[in-house]
């Protein structure tokens, strides 16, 4: 806004300066040769003539200024078709604009996108601060009609290339994953390149959001801007099943080395980094590779702020019946923006979280099952290899797969969960030196 107002301010300053000089010139201008000299004292006719000349010059200068403004508007590029209106300054805050975070909803051929959009529109606190952009792939008419039914409440953009994506012969059955990756690249390009937003929340059309979904992302955005060791914030806990989380501590947030997705926030700077090397398929697993993560972490909650209702999809319900449909969705509002979240910055987090983990007494799985749970202090289950981790994770009801050696929800190899009402840290030895990609 400041940049756009500079030409107008400069024009106004020049306008006033010019007219000041003009008045001074007209006032001191000598009478034409041969004209009768006025008598000493007040000169009403001269003052009247001076006022008339000044008024005529002011009209001419005003017309010039209006022409400059019209030319400026003609040179300004038009807003992209389907783009949400540019944010306006919030009243009462001195003209400073609060952060605008668009919600990018990726849709294809699910008319059930209505369930997703209904909750987003119900819980968002401000249409100006959280514009909703629905990017549709697939060209599915029924889904397009559902999106169109929301009118101006959402911006509907459409991925233009509906052709098959070139893929190796052995990947023909994975064409859906190639199309999804292409759609992500195009849609994120629209948000950051065409619409020029500086951050965005990415949601897929089969997610339902919690009442404090927007509050959460609004609060963690400054962390991403301040801490270069964070590269995303996610609303999702991969191990957030009922019984594995402390639903009464919904304010708990963690760092995780695992990219969770499923409702996540990124900055434009991260897209600048990822876009040139964006993969043709399997974009989420690609994000979990060490060369993309580069030692950075995401923020994730104890209790998920999204849940998925999309059993049908390119993954054919993989993990849905066993894990995903049991994810606990937070049902109470946590005022995150009123909390100090600086404990999530890396140095402070590691000073508090890791000592807490390794101060907890180590127990065996049998002890954990036999001893009283609720009300007891935290304990630690230690694993010493890939097979050991997978066996303990499976016994505890966690997702036991590893991506580039990183467990879901883990930070420095530690996965935090609740078992029988007791906090449990599934952790490697204290001298842990890093993830082993061969564990995948």
Q: pLDDT per residue over 54-71, tens digit each? A: 565 555 545 444 443 433
| CATH number for the domain that contains residue 117 | 3.90.550.10
In total, how many domains does the chain have?
Answer: 2
Assess whether pLDDT exceeds 60 at residue 79. Answer: no
322 and 406 part of one domain: no
252 and 374 part of one domain: no
More confident residue, 370 or 23: 370
Query: Which of 344, 378, 394 is the endpoint of a domain?
Result: 344
Residue 296 in any domain: the answer is yes
| CATH number for the domain that contains residue 389 | 3.10.180.20
For residue 159, what pLDDT is reported?
Answer: 98
161 and 235 part of one domain: yes
289 and 362 part of one domain: no
Residue 210 in any domain: the answer is yes
Residue 17 in any domain: the answer is no
Mind telling me the catalytic residues? 284
Residue 215 in any domain: the answer is yes
Q: Is the dihedral of CA 274, 280, 283, 288 positive or negative?
A: negative
For residue 321, what pLDDT is reported?
Answer: 81
Q: What is the Cα–Cα distance from 308 to 110, expressed in whole angstroms?
A: 13
Query: Which of 289, 322, 344 is the endpoint of a domain?
Result: 344
Domain assignment of residue 369, given as a range: 352-440
Please tell me what DSSP assigns to residue 304. Answer: B
For residue 226, what pLDDT is reported?
Answer: 98
Query: Sorting pLDDT into bands at 50, 70 and 90, what band is 235?
Result: very high
159 and 251 part of one domain: yes
107 and 230 part of one domain: yes
228 and 371 part of one domain: no
413 and 326 part of one domain: no
Average pLDDT over residues 282-300: 98
Mean pLDDT of all residues in the chain?
85
Assess whether pLDDT exceeds 70 at residue 256. Answer: yes
Query: Sorting pLDDT into bands at 50, 70 and 90, what band is 78?
Result: very low
Residue 33 in any domain: the answer is no
Torsion, Cα of 113, 116, 122, 124 (10° steps): -110
307 and 335 part of one domain: yes
220 and 251 part of one domain: yes
Name, in order, each residue with C-beta under 8 angstroms of 382's C-beta and a sequence gap of 6 or more. Answer: 362, 427, 428, 429
358 and 340 part of one domain: no
With vertex at residue 279, the alpha carbon angle to CA 278 and CA 281, rounded to the nearest 5 degrees, is 140
Residue 73 in any domain: the answer is no
Q: Give residue for tokens 């434009």.
A: 268
For residue 371, what pLDDT is reported?
Answer: 81
Give one DSSP letter per residue of 198-254, joined into a string: SEEEEEETTEEE-TTHHHHHHHHHHHHHH-TTEEEEES--TT-BTTTS-GGGTT-EE
Residue 439 in any domain: the answer is yes
Query: Sorting pLDDT into bands at 50, 70 and 90, what band is 322?
Result: confident
For residue 372, what pLDDT is reported?
Answer: 72
For residue 320, what pLDDT is reported?
Answer: 80
Residue 202 in any domain: the answer is yes
Query: Which of 301, 325, 344 is the endpoint of a domain?
Result: 344
357 and 340 part of one domain: no
For residue 313, what pLDDT is reported?
Answer: 54
Query: pLDDT tens digit string along 174-228?
Result: 999 999 999 999 999 999 999 999 999 999 999 999 999 999 999 999 999 999 9
Q: What is the Cα–Cα distance from 27 to 222, expressed in whole angstroms?
A: 58
Assess whether pLDDT exceeds 70 at residue 41. Answer: no
- Kindly provide the residue ranges of all beta strands, DSSP E only, lying in 279-334, ordered along the sequence: 297-301, 306-308
For residue 310, what pLDDT is reported?
Answer: 76
Q: pTM of this prediction?
A: 0.79
């Amino acid at each position: 806004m400041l940049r756009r107002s500079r030409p107008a301010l400069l024009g106004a300053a020049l306008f006033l300066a010019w007219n000041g000089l003009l008045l001074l010139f007209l006032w001191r201008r000598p009478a034409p040769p041969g004209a009768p000299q006025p008598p000493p004292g007040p000169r009403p006719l001269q003052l009247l003539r001076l006022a008339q000349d000044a008024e005529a010059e002011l009209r001419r200068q005003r017309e010039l200024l209006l022409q400059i403004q019209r030319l400026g508007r003609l040179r300004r590029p038009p807003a992209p078709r389907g783009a949400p209106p540019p944010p306006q300054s919030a009243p009462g805050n001195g003209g400073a604009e609060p952060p605008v975070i668009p919600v990018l909803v990726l849709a294809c051929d699910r008319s059930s996108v209505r369930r997703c959009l209904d909750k987003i529109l119900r819980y968002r606190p401000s249409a100006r601060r959280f514009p909703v952009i629905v990017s549709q792939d697939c060209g599915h008419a029924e889904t397009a009609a559902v999106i169109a039914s929301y009118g101006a409440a959402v911006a509907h953009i459409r991925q233009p290339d509906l052709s098959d994506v070139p893929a190796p012969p052995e990947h023909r059955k994975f064409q859906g994953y190639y199309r999804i990756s292409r759609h992500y690249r195009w849609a994120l390009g629209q948000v950051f390149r065409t619409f020029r937003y500086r951050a965005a929340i990415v949601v897929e059309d089969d997610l339902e959001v919690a009442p404090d979904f927007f509050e959460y992302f609004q609060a963690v955005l400054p962390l991403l801007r301040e801490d270069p060791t964070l590269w995303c914030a996610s609303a999702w806990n991969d191990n957030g099943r009922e019984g594995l989380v402390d639903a009464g501590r919904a304010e708990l947030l963690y760092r995780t080395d695992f990219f969770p997705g499923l409702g996540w926030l990124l900055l434009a700077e991260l897209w600048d980094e990822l876009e040139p090397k964006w993969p043709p398929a399997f974009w989420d697993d690609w994000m979990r590779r060490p060369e993309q993560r580069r030692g950075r972490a995401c923020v994730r909650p104890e209790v998920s702020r999204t849940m998925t209702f999309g059993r049908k999809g390119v993954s054919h319900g993989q993990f849905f019946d066993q894990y995903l449909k049991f994810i606990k969705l937070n049902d109470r509002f946590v005022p995150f923006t009123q909390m100090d979240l600086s404990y999530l910055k890396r140095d402070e987090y590691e000073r508090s979280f890791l000592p807490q983990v390794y101060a907890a007494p180590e127990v065996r799985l049998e002890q954990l099952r036999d001893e009283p749970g609720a009300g007891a202090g935290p304990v630690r289950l230690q694993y010493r290899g890939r097979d050991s981790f997978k066996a303990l994770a499976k016994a505890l009801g966690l997702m036991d797969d590893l991506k580039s050696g990183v467990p879901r929800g883990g930070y420095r190899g530690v996965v935090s969960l609740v078992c029988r009402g007791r906090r449990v840290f599934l952790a490697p030895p204290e001298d842990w030196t890093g993830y082993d990609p061969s564990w995948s």
